[in-house]
Amino acid sequence: MANSAPTVAEAERFETDQAISLKAKDIANLIKHSKHFIVFTGAGISTSAGIPDFRGPDGVWTLRKQKRDAPSKATSTLQAIPTPTHMALVKLQNRGLLKYLVSQNCDGLHRKSGIAPEMISELHGNSNREYCRDCGKEYIRDFRAVAPYTKTVTDHRTGRKCSMPGCNGVLLDTIINFGECLFEQPLKLAREHGKKADFCLVLGSSLTVPPACTIPEIAGKSKRGKLGICNLQSTPLDHLVDGESMRVFARTDDLMIAVMGHLGLEIPQFVLRRQLTVKLVMGERDRNQVILQGVDVDGTPSTFLKSVRLEGCRRPAVTEPFTLSLRMDGQEELRLKLELEFMGNYLEPNVEIVHSTQCSERLYLLEYSPYTREWQVVAKDYSRPSAQ
């Protein structure tokens, strides 16, 4: 916390564009020829999205140590747009170059940007993710799924209950507060990939918080592994980097834009991607229901809607799963017009989908550009994920 930060933060260093480009070329070459390339990220990769870091000159802990107020211009993690660094990592993942990502960040931007769930260890949690204490079921939310901590920082109850049939267990946030143990599985996977890595690139981390900081150390001390670090301040692991060209004093966006240029890869623009299942349940005496549920790519329930309105019905559904009554009145097919209202973190407008009652269940892929404020909707036959 604040006690872990110096009263006066170390000055940030900025290398020239030419120096960054030369080092980026060496880093790109290592990425291209590595067999198991991993990345370790810290708060520094999100500062250009408006989210402050912790130990920089205007970092959260630094200001608290100096008894100064945090800047009011900070962007909410819910409204922050993933940075060029986030999107470059998505591209490297999709091209098969990035084998695993380890992050200390709780802002949820990696998952939102398009990093697959099985490709990342969020060691300190995710402020948009909660889980059931009883059955372990996870939930992704478009709101802060964090406990109020009114009694103690170890009380992680969010106030919601598990919706799995027969469970109704207490939901807990995934945030790791100071003094708490990390979740076993993400840490285990991070260590395994740290041992396998032949190149580990650290982006925007002071590398001062254990046990997370031991992951790059594993790679740096390995005989077959190489370590690179991009951070504006010095770190305790600088002596382990593989030569001067692997220690970059720069903003992570500046480095990753240069790296991607040397790799000949374009950094994609951020697109908010959501998935929605629409299921038709036929009942006796024309007591039918249409049920809508947001899902993540691995089948995890995902909350991103405020309400669903069916044309012809007076009242919208406002609780999950969104359930609406439907009368067929003897008709073989109806084309249901469903108006979706979103949380609005990116000023998403409502969108209408049209669902045929001849399809019992369908998956809708929703893609939204925060730059044009337009939705693209694609319907697909639904194959239920095996993950619970």
Active site residues: 124
Q: Number of C-alpha atoms within 13 angstroms, CB side, residue 381?
A: 1
How many angstroms separate the Cα of 55 from the Cα of each of 2, 207, 233? 9, 11, 9
Tokens 């992680």 belong to 156
- CA 270/CA 113 separation, integer angstroms: 7
Coil, strand or helix at 69:
coil
Is 167 marked within a binding site? yes
**HSE on the CB side for 239, CA within 13 Å?**
1
Q: If we measure between CA atoms, which residue out of 144, 175, 170 comes closest to residue 159? A: 170
* Annotated binding-site residue? 313: no
Distance, CA of 178 to chain centre = 21
Residues with Cβ within 8 Å of 335's Cβ and at least 6 positions away in sequence, in order, are: 354, 355, 356, 357
What's the CA dihedral at 160, 170, 361, 307 to 10 degrees?
Answer: 0
Which residue shows structure tokens 């600088």? 238
Binding-site positions read 132, 135, 162, 167
Binding-site positions for Zn(2+) read 132, 135, 162, 167
